[in-house]
A and B are shown apart, each in its own frame.
Chain A
Amino acid sequence: MIQSAGSPAFGAYVHVPFCTKRCDYCAFATWTDRSHLMDEYVDAVCIDIKRTFASHPDRVATSVFFGGGTPSLLPAGDLVRILAAIPRVDGAEVTVECNPDTVSLAMFETYVAGGVNRISFGVQSMVPEVLESLGRTHNPESVGAGVLAARAAGIARLNLDLIYGGAGETVEQWRHTLEATITLGPDHVSAYALTVEAGTPLAEDPSRHPDDDDQADKYLLADEMLTAAGLLNYEISNWASSGQECLHNLLYWDQGEYFGFGCAAHAHVGGRRWWNLRTPDRYIAAVSTGDSVEASFELLDVGTRRIEALQLALRTRGGVPVSSLSADDRDELGPLLVERDGRLHLSLEGRLLANEVAVRLR
């Protein structure tokens, strides 16, 4: 580990494309039939990391995020082996996404020994019927057990990921999920409106598509209950107790820089965004032959970069300069905006209609 406090913020994202079951709303790059590739995949990721940092010796990660897929499906030793390959500052934030089904105290102890200090649980709901309708394999009890295990291993920072607004979920069920989540005392909660992504089985079944008004009601309920529990909204779908915001995700919204490792991972450095080959097979093959793992890229011109920065900032507590909206638009958007400290912020109502504001940014 590199002892260099005060390094500029820089992230490393590691994609783990394995799941035991595919949820029918999920459009991520993940596979249920490639677990035989795990060893090769871990090796390839380690090689990719070493090569990439070798050609950018000045880069040091201030945050690392293992996402998926289901990173907790990797043997813990393999995961920390990848982590060890990433040059990072002392005290860097290291998050691993976990499925409550696949965790244990021993696993978390290995994580902690390797430098992991933050866990994000894919909880989604605390109601068995809702979990089932979302196609999730775990039950609510395993969430509590997982949280206990993580804490027992010494991990203080915990995020619980929730999904609301699936077909058939009642407002009372959602309230129960929020209550049960708050009872577990996380320092961070992400709550996402279920979104229909093209190409998923959910997209094919309009009868199960979410209702905007229902999701709006549930968002308001979430904000009310999480705020009352001391978790403050700092991005449209994220709430945290003071100082426990996810640094890695803040990097995305601050148009910060990061590398992406593993298949389908995205990176952003110096106004260039690129993303890796989508399948683990092709990623492994490219690494082994020494070819580039990059699938494609985009270069942002100054104007696009500026608008993108505003669109991202608008989603966060930081807001945007007053001048980024015309007086007419500010007038029209009225109650969606709050002016504070010379900046414009989304009101609670405005967070639900953020696109309407974002398309008017100039």
Chain B
Amino acid sequence: MASLDRFRNLCIIAHIDHGKSTLADRLLELCGAVDPREMRAQYLDSMDIERERGITIKLQSVRLEHQGHTINLIDTPGHVDFGYEVSRSLAACEGAILLVDAAQGIEAQTLANCYLALENDLEIVAALNKIDLPAADPDRYAAEIEKVLGIPANEILRISAKTGEGVEDLLNAVVERIPPPEGDPDAPLQGLIFDSHFDQYRGVISSVRVMNGTLTTGARLRFVQAGAVYNAEEVGVRRPDPTPIASLGAGEVGYLIAGIKDVGEARSGETITTAAHPAPALEGYKEPKPMVFCGIYPIDGDEFPTLREALEKLRLNDSSYTFQPESSGALGFGFRCGFLGLLHMEIIRERLEREFNLSLIATAPSVQYVVHKENGDVITIDNPSELPPATEVAHIEEPYLRATILTPTSYTGTLMELCQNRRGEMIKIEYLSPERMELVYELPLAEVVTDFFDQMKSRTQGYASLDYEPSEYRQSNLVKVDILLNAVPVDAFSMIVHKDKSYGYGLRMTEKLKELIPRQLFDVPIQAAIGGRIIARETVKAKRKDVLAKCYGGDISRKRKLLEKQKEGKKRMKNIGRVEVPQEAFVSALRLDD
């Protein structure tokens, strides 16, 4: 067996647009891993959505050879929704490349991941990227990294992944500074799964780090947390093309195919061992816990079975979302889904629409509330319609986050105002450097999932960055605002909000709906109500004119077709309290960016 000395396992910690994919491309080229003719930009980005959005949720891991050393490059997801996955990736490594844009400085989430890496005793090789940009200011940001992370500025490399400048130095530094892995090759097998995805031909393909022992092709494996047994059908490494090998030794990183049909059986954090000589589970495993919930409905009710099938299929690929059927008077049959965060929700929704050719409506995102009832019962709800009548509710608790914002100092005021508007409680405010500030707030999750991130970006021209971690549940003065159409509540528009914000929500929704609901044969009141109390009201006045002025020889066919169209349109509308509501009204009213 080869000595572990020549192995290096590392990950890249970087903010979304700081050049991670470009650096990966250069490393592949430098190590001769990809034939130049087959090279394409963002080579390791696996999903179309990633390439299109120019963001990387997760790169494929890859094995590179450099001057007699074998380097396993493991990625960490670049978004706060996937914090747990980051921790599992870090657990598979001895070191990390910290990649920071030399024109922007370190971002909040990168900093958080770096702290996590330091807690895990990872060696950090820091590099300032994009030094070819006119706006690059590497001296300033090197000083900042030194201040916040204690990495000496003179050890921070300066590279341009785009031009290739300094990339070889970086590779050399990785080999020099990051220690080789340790592990007992003679102990029973302990392997850490840190990523799994579903391939329609091969089933689940997992990335695995062997901690102790040997993972051998053909071995009978026990998946400790899932409590399942599978055969190791194929073990291999990605160079980056998958290459089967006989076995992976202690300290090595590779992939495993074991005939698994559901990624839920091989989640990040899972421990594998052999059925013959089982070892105990590795530490740190957690079940993914959805934090943001919404209803997802097909625009065309006939597509409900297709949606169910799509959710089941996609879950083979991403077991971190949940779904269960629900029905809505306004939207028909759909599913209540739970997600790790807002981006996760957007990605799943977009994949459902794109990969399964569906048109969907999503209700406003909700969080999970703990409701204490007068009779002493405690229930958990993630859908406003499940909230018991106010008379039965003693109090409600909502989840809070601890949010860290890094920002140029000039935006401190506007960000403090934003956090205050969102019911935030300041925990800390500190200068990172004369130009940059760190703000730490406790914020209700519900206030963050509406459009906090967009607001933060627009108030700071995109310069501020955000990281958060779940904090605690706190008691809040929460009420449910119902929206009534012709005196009938429309469940899709009900929302649990803080009492101080209930009037604003009611006003906004009634005004919005007044514009969206076409005039009917009668006056339609649109009301916002808390319990039985009306807090806002608008009226869509009865329509008075809907007639074709002229109908002569040349008009008859055309007008008949117009009427047929009008008739078809009526069929597609939902009837709520005798009011005909077009689907588009729901779609527009539920859109967040108002």
B553 touches A266 (CB 8 A): yes
Contact with A along B536-557 (1 / 0, CB 8 A): 0000000111111111111011
Min CB–CB distance B546 → chain A (angstroms): 4
Chain A residues, CB < 8 A from B567: 359
Bound complex: CA A253 to CA B553 (Å): 9
Chain A residues, CB < 8 A from B557: 266, 273, 298
B549's contact among A237, A252, A264, by CB below 8 Å, is which?
Answer: A237
B544 touches A216 (CB 8 A): yes
B553 touches A268 (CB 8 A): yes
- Near A by CB (< 8 A), chain B positions 542-577 give 543-554, 556-557, 559-560, 563, 566-567, 570
Q: If A219-B545, A351-B547, A354-B547 touch, does A252 touch B563 (CB 8 Å cutoff)?
A: no
Chain B residues, CB < 8 A from A336: 521
Decide yes or no whether A332 CB sits under 8 A from chain B.
yes
B550 touches A237 (CB 8 A): yes
B551 touches A353 (CB 8 A): no
Segment at the B interface, from A52-60, A75-83, A307-315: A307-315
What residue in chain B is nearest A11 (Cβ atoms)? B553
B551 touches A315 (CB 8 A): yes
Min CB–CB distance A333 → chain B (angstroms): 7
B556 touches A312 (CB 8 A): yes
Decide yes or no whether A7 CB sits under 8 A from chain B.
no
What residue in chain A is nearest B565 (Cβ atoms)? A359
Chain A residues, CB < 8 A from B551: 236, 252-253, 312, 315
Decide yes or no whether A31 CB sits under 8 A from chain B.
no
Chain A residues, CB < 8 A from B554: 264-266, 275
A332 touches B521 (CB 8 A): yes
Min CB–CB distance B304 → chain A (angstroms): 28
What residue in chain A is nearest B578 (Cβ atoms)? A332
B556 touches A352 (CB 8 A): no
Decide yes or no whether A283 CB sits under 8 A from chain B.
no
What residue in chain B is nearest A361 (Cβ atoms)? B563
Decide yes or no whether A249 CB sits under 8 A from chain B.
yes
A193 touches B549 (CB 8 A): yes
Decide yes or no whether A356 CB sits under 8 A from chain B.
yes
B543's contact among A192, A212, A266, A351, by CB below 8 Å, is which?
Answer: A212
Chain B residues, CB < 8 A from A356: 521, 546
B544 touches A353 (CB 8 A): yes
A192 touches B550 (CB 8 A): yes
B547's contact among A236, A252, A260, by CB below 8 Å, is which?
Answer: A236
B553's contact among A260, A307, A315, A355, by CB below 8 Å, is which?
Answer: A260
A212 touches B556 (CB 8 A): no
Most A-side CB within 10 Å, residue of B521, B551, B563:
B551
A359's contact among B553, B556, B563, by CB below 8 Å, is which?
Answer: B563
Contact with B along A265-284 (1 / 0, CB 8 A): 11110000101000000000
B563 touches A355 (CB 8 A): yes
What residue in chain A is nearest B544 (Cβ atoms)? A216
Chain B residues, CB < 8 A from A298: 557
Min CB–CB distance B373 → chain A (angstroms): 43
Min CB–CB distance B211 → chain A (angstroms): 68
Contact with B along A193-231 (1 / 0, CB 8 A): 111000000000000000011011001000000000000
What residue in chain A is nearest B559 (Cβ atoms)? A311
Chain A residues, CB < 8 A from B560: 304, 307-308, 311
Chain B residues, CB < 8 A from A333: 521
Bound complex: CA A195 to CA B551 (Å): 12
| Interface residue total, chain A, C-beta cutoff 8 A | 43
B556's contact among A213, A237, A308, A332, by CB below 8 Å, is which?
Answer: A308
Decide yes or no whether A286 CB sits under 8 A from chain B.
no
Min CB–CB distance B320 → chain A (angstroms): 47
What residue in chain B is nearest A336 (Cβ atoms)? B521
- Near B by CB (< 8 A), chain A positions 317-362 give 332-333, 336, 351-356, 358-359
- Near B by CB (< 8 A), chain A positions 228-268 give 236-237, 249, 252-253, 258, 260, 264-268
Bound complex: CA A139 to CA B521 (Å): 40
Most B-side CB within 10 Å, residue of A67, A192, A311:
A311
Chain B residues, CB < 8 A from A18: none
Bound complex: CA A261 to CA B29 (Å): 75
Contact with B along A6-17 (1 / 0, CB 8 A): 000000010000
A212 touches B552 (CB 8 A): no
- Near B by CB (< 8 A), chain A positions 57-114 give 67
Chain B residues, CB < 8 A from A260: 553
Bound complex: CA A212 to CA B552 (Å): 22
Q: If A308-B560, A359-B566 touch, does A352 touch B547 (CB 8 Å cutoff)?
A: yes
Min CB–CB distance B1 → chain A (angstroms): 77
Bound complex: CA A205 to CA B552 (Å): 26
Chain A residues, CB < 8 A from B548: 195, 354-355
Q: If A252-B551, A253-B551, A358-B563 touch, does A193 touch B556 (CB 8 Å cutoff)?
A: no
Chain A residues, CB < 8 A from B546: 212, 352-356
B544's contact among A192, A213, A308, A358, by CB below 8 Å, is which?
Answer: A213
B570 touches A359 (CB 8 A): yes
A213 touches B545 (CB 8 A): yes
Bound complex: CA A264 to CA B545 (Å): 30
Min CB–CB distance A261 → chain B (angstroms): 12
Min CB–CB distance B351 → chain A (angstroms): 38
A252's contact among B545, B553, B570, by CB below 8 Å, is which?
Answer: B553
Chain B residues, CB < 8 A from A353: 521, 543-547
A352 touches B545 (CB 8 A): yes
Min CB–CB distance A102 → chain B (angstroms): 22
What residue in chain A is nearest B553 (Cβ atoms)? A266
What residue in chain B is nearest A353 (Cβ atoms)? B546
> Which residues of B are in contact with A by a Cβ distance under 8 Å?
521, 543-554, 556-557, 559-560, 563, 566-567, 570
Q: A212-B543, A265-B554, A353-B545 are in contact. List 20 more A-B contacts (CB 8 A).
A: A212-B546, A213-B545, A236-B547, A249-B552, A252-B551, A252-B556, A260-B553, A266-B554, A268-B556, A304-B560, A311-B559, A333-B521, A352-B545, A353-B521, A353-B547, A355-B546, A355-B566, A356-B521, A356-B546, A359-B566
A–B complex contacts, Cβ < 8 Å, 16 sampled: A192-B549, A193-B549, A212-B544, A212-B545, A219-B545, A252-B551, A265-B553, A265-B554, A266-B554, A273-B556, A275-B554, A298-B557, A308-B556, A311-B563, A312-B556, A315-B551
Q: Which 5 A-B pairs have the closest CB atoms?
A: A216-B544, A354-B547, A212-B545, A266-B553, A192-B549
